[in-house]
Amino acid sequence: MKISESFNPCKGFYDPNQLFVDGGVMGRNPSPIGGTWAVRIVEKGRIITEWSGVLLANDETPLVTNNMTEMLALIKGITLLPFEWRGTIFSDSKITLGRVFAGWSRTNLPEWMWSEIINQKARLVHWNQIHYGLLDGHPTQIQLEGGLGKRGHPVSIHNKWCDEECGRVGKHHLKLSKDKT
């Protein structure tokens, strides 16, 4: 499979099968605490699966970046897809989409993340038929109603859910950590 050097995300929501992914950090970026990720799979307008979690900083990765959590969200999402899946993967991270679909540099990503991307690309037999879409993140209600964000990219209630879920999971983790001390 040849990876294109160009970056050409689709603009529409025409695929019946969609994966939405988002990631974020707890506190500042890069975070000495860690980050969060969330994914949502939608088929024919119906929410099929939602999943979220935390990536904690550790000895191997003492600082977790937003780019790491965005990539981890994509990894977690594609691991849920059946091997014959076709559809569109949506993210508000141009860097993550560029790395996975257009061969951009993977500088500052842990090697295990890139290895997992390679494994998943091999597992998903129709990888070359999977589209990707760049979204504007953090849309307002007016932007959601109009369908476009402040940078002119599409917006989605599903991406908004992923973003809000990242915040919820992060707050929950920080509360649990505080309660233990």
pLDDT tens sequence across 29-54 = 999 999 999 999 999 999 999 999 99
Residue 10 lies in a domain: no
Q: Is the CB of residue 130 less than 8 Å from the CB of residue 85?
A: yes
Q: Which domain holds residue 51?
A: 17-180
In the chain, the number of structural domains is: 1
- So what's the pLDDT on residue 118? 97
pLDDT at 11: 63
**99: domain CATH number?**
3.30.420.10
Q: Write down the pLDDT at residue 21.
A: 98
Residue 50 within a domain:
yes
Average pLDDT of the chain, as a whole number? 93
Decide if 118 is inside a domain: yes
Residue 12 lies in a domain: no
Q: H/E element holding 114?
A: helix 111-123
Quote the pLDDT of residue 2: 37
Ranges of residues in the chain with a pLDDT under 70 are 1-6, 11-12, 181
Tell me, yes or no, whether 124 lies in a domain.
yes
Q: What torsion, rounded to 10 degrees, do the Cα atoms 91, 55, 169, 118 define?
A: 30
Tracing tokens 């998943």 back to the chain, one arrives at: 120
Does a structural domain hold residue 9? Answer: no
**Confidence (pLDDT) at 171:** 97
What is the spatial distance between Cα 117 and Cα 110, in angstroms, rounded to a whole number? 12
* 140 domain residue, yes or no: yes
**Is residue 123 domain-resident?**
yes
